[in-house]
A and B are shown apart, each in its own frame.
Chain A
């Protein structure tokens, strides 16, 4: 069942990418999807079948992504102002940010969100915190990042 779903997904992706719908080319695309899934299943039997389950709430995720876009826009503007100002007010600082996500995927989303917003970069991953480097550190930064942490945790669907 899962194999058939994978084939359908791969073929749909192929149709979107190709743009050429001659019968021969479409058949080639279909057979390559089937072949890819066949090879994948064989590899699952031979090597370790490492699967990753995505446990996210879709609506919360969309909400989070929209919020993240606004944050990116805001911090982009802040860094742009710093670059353009003649004095360049830089206040670099490294600090620990604890995270509350329980899944690897949630932690990855949080770490990548920190890096994606200009002005902060995730440098190192520790036991239960990230080491974050900030361009213009102010005392509000841990609070703002804690807010982001809570929003990422909300998108997780953990049973």
Chain B
């Protein structure tokens, strides 16, 4: 039982770390501001949810899990709000996305 839970939680934590690293890698590789925002939101959603789920399994049923779920709920709301704030600030100050409708551009 405990071994199964350990394995499940480590799979969740490791895949969460994987998505966080992917998000960081994407922020480096992508060409401009707008595409980098998208890469960052991989860390924001996938990485965050999987890491918190893994930690919940580690903590077991208890107060810590309740707190972790609350953290998740807050991040679920504040994450996209912050992303929108950054995107909107860039849009208002006149940064338009380059390369509209371009395909196969490295």
Binding site for B on A (CB under 8 A): 16-17, 19, 69, 72-73, 76, 79-80, 82-84, 87-94, 111-124, 131, 133, 135, 137
A16 partner, pick from B19, B46, B66, B105, beta carbons under 8 A: B66
What separation, in Å, do the CA atoms of A124 and B96 have in the docked complex? 12
Determine the chain B residues whose CB is within 8 A of the CB of A133 once the complex forms.
34, 37, 87, 97
User: Does any Cβ of A come within 8 Å of B2's Cβ?
Assistant: no
Q: Is the CB of A92 within 8 A of B35?
A: yes
| Most A CB within 10 A of own CB, among B42, B81, B98, B106 | B42
Query: Once the chains bind, are B106 and A87 in contact (CB under 8 Å)?
Result: yes
Q: What residues of chain B lie closer than 8 Å to A88, measured between beta carbons?
A: 29-30, 106
CA distance A35 to B80 in the complex (A): 33
Of B31, B42, B106, the contact of A79 (CB 8 Å cutoff) = B42
Which chain B residue has the least Cβ–Cβ distance from A132?
Answer: B87
Are A90 and B30 interface neighbours, CB within 8 A?
A: yes
* CB-CB nearest in chain B for A17: B67
The list of the 9 closest CB pairs from A to B, nearest first, reads A115-B80, A76-B46, A83-B26, A135-B38, A112-B80, A116-B80, A118-B41, A123-B87, A118-B42
| Contacts known (A92-B34, A94-B97); A83 close to B39, Cβ less than 8 A | yes
The answer on a CB contact under 8 Å between B26 and A79 is yes
Q: Determine whether the beta carbon of B42 is less than 8 Å from that of A135.
A: no
Question: Residue on A with the closest CB to B41?
Answer: A118
CA distance A74 to B79 in the complex (A): 18
Contacts of A92 in B (CB 8 A): 34-35, 97-102
Check: B45 CB closer than 8 A to any chain A CB: yes
Distance A58 CA – B21 CA, assembled complex (angstroms): 35
Report the minimal beta-carbon distance from A36 to chain B, rounded to whole angstroms.
18
In Å, the complex CA distance between A51 and B79 comes to 24
The residue in chain A whose Cβ has the minimal distance to the Cβ of B79 is A116
Q: Does B83 contact A (CB under 8 A)?
A: yes
- The reply to whether A93 and B101 contact each other, CB–CB distance below 8 Å, is yes
A83: which of B42, B76, B79, B101 is its contact (CB, 8 Å)? B42
- Which of chain A's residues have a CB closer than 8 A to the CB of B104? 87, 89
Which residue, A19, A87, A116, A119, has most C-beta atoms of chain B within 10 A?
A116
